[in-house]
Structure 1
């Protein structure tokens, strides 16, 4: 079995997701009061990050935890609606070339996977009419039908992406040399290096350097 693994931020979607999530929370008619709670939590860590006192990966993970924990006492239905509203706006702006690649992979019989640090409810809405076989993201914890703000989420980033993909693909035998992966970031390196056909999509400088050195395919961003 061949697989085609896609990242989301700046790959399938041409921008970073988190700034859009912040704006959506700030302007949402029902949940906007949660924005100040969230900002109070992330301000110290973001300041420390800018001063190079806080690792980037930890800053991103803690920011995601702070964001979702601001929804404490919110029902699963309302959380899903919140992310669906944002997702339906984002669906209109997907990278056309990456969508074409996704269709090409489906037509040739590849098993298609989306793996991202974005929250799963948002990814599920965005991909509900796209031909992905498997969608993996950061899980939102619930307890008794309400968000469990005490449970620490595990942000799917860096080497966790490939670990999560492997966990869900077992025990299938994968033709890794014939498989493809698409990503934009140096943190996607584990996934990109696992396949015989890595593709850098509008790569950030560190990944571009690797892609140029190894002569990987690089494709630009183009919105649908």
Structure 2
């Protein structure tokens, strides 16, 4: 079987979902109080990042964790509905040339996957009917509420390949004829899994790597 692996932020979606998530939460008629909870806890992390006491990856992981923990008093149904609503807003701005590529690959029976640091529930709200499988940051639930005792594992670059292989471990994957798409050099390990790697509106480092290695480059140019 052939697979196609897609990053989300900067690839399928031109922007950064976390920026949209913050604005949506801040302006939300029901959950704006959660934004205040988030900011009161995140402020110190962000100051640490600006002072170079906290790494960018750590800052991002803490932001994701604190964002969802602001919903610890809400039910699972409320959280899922919130992300469905947000997902429909984000869906309107997906990068259409790549969405058409997804459709073309699915028509050839290629197994399509999204691997993203975004919450799985948000990915489902955006893309549930478009891909065969979605891998995102999992929100731990227990008895209809967020399980605050359970670690929230942010799906970043070093974890992505492990989760891809775990999901496909019982499948006979033709990696040499499979596909991967990303905008960032941080996804290099994922891109190197396949024989057909594409840099999508890439950062400078990935563009240079793609050019040297003869990878496809998809851009607005």
Q: TM-score range by the shorter chain?
A: over 0.9
CA contact (8 A) 1:64 1:155 kept: yes
Q: Which runs of 4+ in 1 moved over 6 A?
A: none
Separation in structure 2 between the aligned mates of residue 149 and residue 221 of structure 1, nearest angstrom: 42
Aligned residues: 221
Shift of 1:87: 0.4
Separation in structure 1 between the aligned mates of residue 220 and residue 141 of structure 2, nearest angstrom: 35
Match of 2:195? Answer: 196
Shift of 1:221: 5.0
TM-score scaled by structure 2? 0.95
Matched position secondary structure for 1:170: coil
CA contact (8 A) 1:68 1:149 kept: no
Match of 2:22? Answer: 22
Separation in structure 2 between the aligned mates of residue 212 and residue 47 of structure 1, nearest angstrom: 37
Q: Which runs of 5+ in 1 are unaligned?
A: none
CA contact (8 A) 1:3 1:176 kept: yes
Q: Given the alignment of the two structures, is residue 40 of structure 1 paired with residue 40 of structure 2, yes or no? A: yes
Matched position secondary structure for 1:93: coil
Separation in structure 1 between the aligned mates of residue 102 and residue 22 of structure 2, nearest angstrom: 29
Shift of 1:212: 2.5
Match of 1:66? Answer: 66
Q: What is the alpha-carbon root mean square deviation over aligned residues?
A: 1.4
Separation in structure 1 between the aligned mates of residue 6 and residue 180 of structure 2, nearest angstrom: 6
Match of 2:144? Answer: 145
Match of 2:89? Answer: 89
> Larger RCO: Structure 1 or Structure 2 (Cα < 8 Å, ≥ 6 residues apart)?
1
Shift of 1:41: 1.7
CA contact (8 A) 1:184 1:200 kept: yes
Match of 2:49? Answer: 49
Separation in structure 2 between the aligned mates of residue 214 and residue 127 of structure 1, nearest angstrom: 31
Q: Which runs of 5+ in 2 are unaligned?
A: none
TM-score scaled by structure 1? 0.94
CA contact (8 A) 2:115 2:136 kept: yes
